[in-house]
Amino acid sequence: MKKEEITILGAGLIGTLMSIYLRKQGLPVKIYDKRPDMRKSKRYEGGRSINMALSHRGWKSLEEVGLKDRVIPLAIPMYGRRIHDEHGGTSLIPYGKEGQAIYSISRGKFNQLLVEEAENLGVEMLFDHKCEEVDFRDQTIHFSGPEGNFKKEAPVIIGADGAYSSLRMSMQKQIRFNYRQEYISHGYKELTIPATADGEFAMDPNALHIWPRGKFMLIALPNPDKSFTCTLFLPFEGTKVCFDKINDAGDLKSVFKAFFPDAYELMPDLTEEYFKNPTSALINVECYPWVQGHSLLIGDASHAMVPFYGQGMNCGFEDCRVLNGLINKYGHNSWDLVFEKFQKTRKPDTDAICQLAMENFVEMRDTVADPKFLIRKKIETKLNELYPKDWVPLYSMVTFSDMSYSEAYAQGQLQDSIMRQVMADPLITENWNRLDYEEIINKMETAKAV
Amino acid sequence: MKKEEITILGAGLIGTLMSIYLRKQGLPVKIYDKRPDMRKSKRYEGGRSINMALSHRGWKSLEEVGLKDRVIPLAIPMYGRRIHDEHGGTSLIPYGKEGQAIYSISRGKFNQLLVEEAENLGVEMLFDHKCEEVDFRDQTIHFSGPEGNFKKEAPVIIGADGAYSSLRMSMQKQIRFNYRQEYISHGYKELTIPATADGEFAMDPNALHIWPRGKFMLIALPNPDKSFTCTLFLPFEGTKVCFDKINDAGDLKSVFKAFFPDAYELMPDLTEEYFKNPTSALINVECYPWVQGHSLLIGDASHAMVPFYGQGMNCGFEDCRVLNGLINKYGHNSWDLVFEKFQKTRKPDTDAICQLAMENFVEMRDTVADPKFLIRKKIETKLNELYPKDWVPLYSMVTFSDMSYSEAYAQGQLQDSIMRQVMADPLITENWNRLDYEEIINKMETAKAV
């Protein structure tokens, strides 16, 4: 039986990884992307892409398709959050156990590697092709491309076309499609801390740097060229520090000198970059169903999340792995069943990580600066050392395991209710090392049994 | 100064009423609608339009533009809900005080009256014109019409183009537009109880008839031709009574004979209608902002609600009245200010009524059949008689007043918490008439003061 061609929309990280999975199954794959070929353009050279943090789920998929070793050289391990206070002092909060890290990687080179690998495996790539509309009655796609508009039959479509997905836009016009897009009140702007004059990193390269300032923050991730990509998150408008209130070099300087004095010293191009780079918005997208006929949404197209848990790409890569597993299980001609199983099993997980990403923004910009947060981290680390199976901190379940996001979320809720009780002790700062750790674990067991 | 032309999208009830308001202000107005002229087509002759219930807010707007007297002949007062039990027995639950009613009106003739009135006032109507896209950079609209595609400048645009608004679709592509569309698990189908052989109403015409059956229901509203328009609400799919499980005349007959035996006797065309008429879905839409440049969404385009509070049209008419009031206040050349004030003041109210409409579905299909619900109604009626200013039942605040929906919602929440305490008395069925009513009112006062 002839295998049906699979059409993927979007040659980003998720679309290309999915194409690699499918080619390894022996399936014919074509990818269309509205953007020009990244190898011929400069679109990734800064301005709008937050550096990403590759963690366990992402690596697991890369390993499965045999790409892990080729990605490692592009990635820089970050073992913890380095917190910068207002006076330039810093402290490190480890992400997990010794040796556990998330990996800073920049989108451009990573995407290029995946595009090349896909092409080498026989995936046909068509850039500059915009999907205008998908007609689900006859599974056809209307494209506009360099040779004008045309219509193409596509028996199986996978939409990996991102937060502004055009496949999803067509689905939205179908009856009984539930959809939600929500912008948060903060925007972001990319800035740079370049390498020092003698070509070295200007700060500790093996950490994710955070300047948490309550309602806003600055972060910085290392790059292989020894620069850091910084991202400034501010409210768009308001009465205090916000994008609307920074209108000239003077405003900018006074904000940075007051709140990020150590970073300011390391940013010679601050003013130029700030006023040249766009201020971008942050969207959360949830929808359901993800399937319409033989068309399926994956990645940001079905669940775009805010970037504060560092899981957008990792979750999308896990989508690819889960979908590949279902194709393995049900075969190459059971798309109805595969797609239905995929959306049913995966939706609760992506809902959970979208929610966690939203909640983690408060942690990153505010809670990490609270001394009590450090105490809580220490208690949870110790619980994990003493009872490695019974207490894995939420961050670790999400970042360093492939436990389902929804299970991690549920366990995290339990942990949180117990830790609130523990932290209510007014002497916790002195006593944290002398707690009855077994009792805490017992509470967890009791709560789970309920 | 020359007055800018106002472009309204949608010649439905809200668009035409808005155009009448604007013409009375002396403003030039054009309406575009993608559908054919209703006066030349038969599109309203049944099949998909739930009969509507005109109530205080709707009448108030009609009165303001001088149309109340012309609409009265089209409307039939319904003084209460007539509840039908499984054995054909009925009882009436009044909607409000004596004389208070909601008015059954069918969309077709009502809409036609508004179109004609608008034309008489000088509104230019263009049917068969579909808005394909609005470009906010230069305030232009791309239309496709009988003479092909064209682009038109439109300095002021009001989108009254309904739950599937094309203006909103264009706004959705703008950054920072928050949007949510949600379908409920139930669908609906329109059916008919015709006039009797001797040309009379087959049931009490001055009531809204409900057959509440827990997870599903049938309702019927009277028409001037002495028929009733019925609407069957069922879950789309499930294990019990649902649209998916009714596949032939036999299935249909057994459901109707078991659950709606008295209605069944009055529906000679049931089978034919059931399998001919479409099963439609019910959407809730919320979005924000409603404004982009000089374009504004009103009515269902900005807040489509489920029909269970009978407020969709009334709320849309109130939108028109509120917007007109702001234009009066700020003048004909302050669209930025008028639109901004409109969305800021109106959004909390439409959120409240969307929420109430969703909650009222449970009341209609389930709670009204509970004897305790009747007791509670009686207590609240008595409270209202004794303390007409301090206790107005939620339904009356929404339906028989023009208190803001958000204020009604907040008061309703308070009432509900107090009535839950009152109803917790195990002897309430016997004691309801001997309660300390003053104490209940005092509780309300105390709660409000908090």
Task: Write out chain B residues lying below 8 Å of A181, CB-based.
Answer: 172, 177-180
**DSSP-assigned beta bridge partners for residue A228:** A193, A222
Contact indicator for A28, A118 with CB cutoff of 8 Å: no
Residue among A308, A313, A299 nearest A58 (CA): A313
pLDDT at B44 (0 to 100): 52
Task: Write out chain A residues lying below 8 Å of B178, CB-based.
Answer: 181-183
Arithmetic mean of pLDDT, B175-190: 96
Task: Write out chain A residues lying below 8 Å of B175, CB-based.
Answer: 183, 281
Task: Write out chain A residues lying below 8 Å of B176, CB-based.
Answer: 183, 236, 281
- The phi, psi pair for A75, rounded to 5°, reads -115, 145
Q: Is A180 close to B175, i.e. CB distance below 8 A?
A: no
> Mean pLDDT over all residues of chain B?
94
Contact indicator for A155, A4 with CB cutoff of 8 Å: yes
Interface with chain B: mutation pick from A133, A165, A182, highest number of B CBs within 10 Å: A182
pLDDT at A87 (0 to 100): 94
Task: Write out chain B residues lying below 8 Å of A173, CB-based.
Answer: 164
Contact indicator for B188, B337 with CB cutoff of 8 Å: no
- Pick from A175, A236, A281: CB nearest B281: A175
Interface with chain A: mutation pick from B182, B184, B354, highest number of A CBs within 10 Å: B182
pLDDT at B43 (0 to 100): 54
Task: Write out chain B residues lying below 8 Å of A172, CB-based.
Answer: 181
> Taking the CA atoms of chain B, what radius of gyration do you get in angstroms?
23
Q: Is B177 close to A181, i.e. CB distance below 8 A?
A: yes
B103: its two tokens: 């008015």
CA distance A56 to chain B (A): 32
CA A389 to chain centre: 26
pLDDT at A42 (0 to 100): 62
How many Cα atoms sit within 13 Å of A3 on the Cβ side? 13
Q: Per-residue pLDDT for chain A (450 aa), expressed as one digit of tens each? A: 578 899 999 999 999 999 999 999 999 999 999 999 988 876 555 444 668 999 999 999 999 999 999 999 999 999 999 999 999 999 999 999 999 999 999 999 999 999 999 999 999 999 999 999 999 999 999 999 999 999 999 999 999 999 999 999 999 999 999 999 999 999 999 999 999 999 999 999 999 999 999 999 999 999 999 999 999 999 999 989 999 999 999 999 999 999 999 999 999 999 999 999 999 999 999 999 999 999 999 999 999 999 999 999 999 999 999 999 999 999 998 999 999 999 999 999 999 999 999 999 988 888 888 889 999 999 999 999 999 999 999 999 999 999 999 999 999 999 999 999 999 999 999 889 889 999 999 988 888 877
A304: its two tokens: 């775009």
Taking CA–CA distances from B279, the nearest residue in chain A reads A175
Q: CA A220, CA A203: separation in Å to the nearest integer?
A: 10
What are the E-state strand segments in A194-299?
208-212, 217-222, 228-235, 280-288, 291-292, 295-297
Q: Is B180 close to A183, i.e. CB distance below 8 A?
A: no
pLDDT at A222 (0 to 100): 96
H/E segment holding residue B77: strand B76-78
Q: CA A373, CA A395: separation in Å to the nearest integer?
A: 13
Q: What Å distances lie between residue B205 and B46, B202, B225, CA to CA?
A: 19, 8, 11
**Which CATH architecture group holds A6-78+104-181+283-360?**
3-Layer(bba) Sandwich (3.50)
Sheet holding A295-297, edge to edge: A124-126, A29-32, A6-9, A156-159, A295-297, A291-292
CA B402 to chain centre: 15
Q: Is A181 close to B172, i.e. CB distance below 8 A?
A: yes
Task: Write out chain A residues lying below 8 Å of B184, CB-based.
Answer: none
- Residues recorded for chain A: 450
By a Cβ cutoff of 8 Å, what residues of chain A touch chain B? 164, 172-173, 175-183, 236, 281
Q: Is A179 close to B178, i.e. CB distance below 8 A?
A: no
Q: Is B182 close to A182, i.e. CB distance below 8 A?
A: no
- Pick from A173, A178, A180: CB nearest B183: A178
Q: CA B432, CA B375: separation in Å to the nearest integer?
A: 7
Contact indicator for A289, A28 with CB cutoff of 8 Å: no
Give the torsion through C-alpha atoms of B356, B359, B365, B367, to 10 deg.
Answer: -100
Burial level of A374, CB count in 10 A (0-12/13-18/19+)? middle
- Pick from A179, A183, A236: CB nearest B181: A179
Interface with chain A: mutation pick from B175, B186, B292, highest number of A CBs within 10 Å: B175
Q: For residue B446, is pLDDT > 80?
A: yes
CA distance B234 to chain A (A): 15
CA distance A182 to chain B (A): 5
Burial level of A445, CB count in 10 A (0-12/13-18/19+)? exposed
CB-defined contacts A:B, below 8 A: 35
Taking CA–CA distances from B236, the nearest residue in chain A reads A176
Q: Is B183 close to A175, i.e. CB distance below 8 A?
A: yes
pLDDT at A51 (0 to 100): 83
Q: CA B365, CA B306: separation in Å to the nearest integer?
A: 14
- How does residue B232 score in pLDDT terms, banded at 50, 70 and 90? very high
Contact indicator for B131, B141 with CB cutoff of 8 Å: yes
pLDDT tens-digit readout, B378-416: 999 999 999 999 999 999 999 999 999 999 999 999 999
**DSSP-assigned beta bridge partners for residue B127:** none
Q: Is A281 close to B172, i.e. CB distance below 8 A?
A: no
Q: CA B352, CA B392: separation in Å to the nearest integer?
A: 17
Task: Write out chain B residues lying below 8 Å of A281, CB-based.
Answer: 175-176
The answer to whether the bond into B371 is cis (omega within 30° of 0) is no
Q: What is the ipTM of this complex?
A: 0.86
Q: CA B193, CA B203: separation in Å to the nearest integer?
A: 9
Arithmetic mean of pLDDT, B29-46: 81
Arithmetic mean of pLDDT, B355-374: 90
- How does residue B46 score in pLDDT terms, banded at 50, 70 and 90? very low
pLDDT at A446 (0 to 100): 85
Taking CA–CA distances from B184, the nearest residue in chain A reads A176
- Relative to beta strand A124-126, strand A102-105 is unpaired
Q: CA B211, CA B86: separation in Å to the nearest integer?
A: 8
DSSP character for B79? -
pLDDT at B448 (0 to 100): 80
How many Cα atoms sit within 13 Å of B255 on the Cβ side? 24
Q: For residue B146, is pLDDT > 80?
A: yes
The CATH code of domain B6-78+106-181+283-360 reads 3.50.50.60
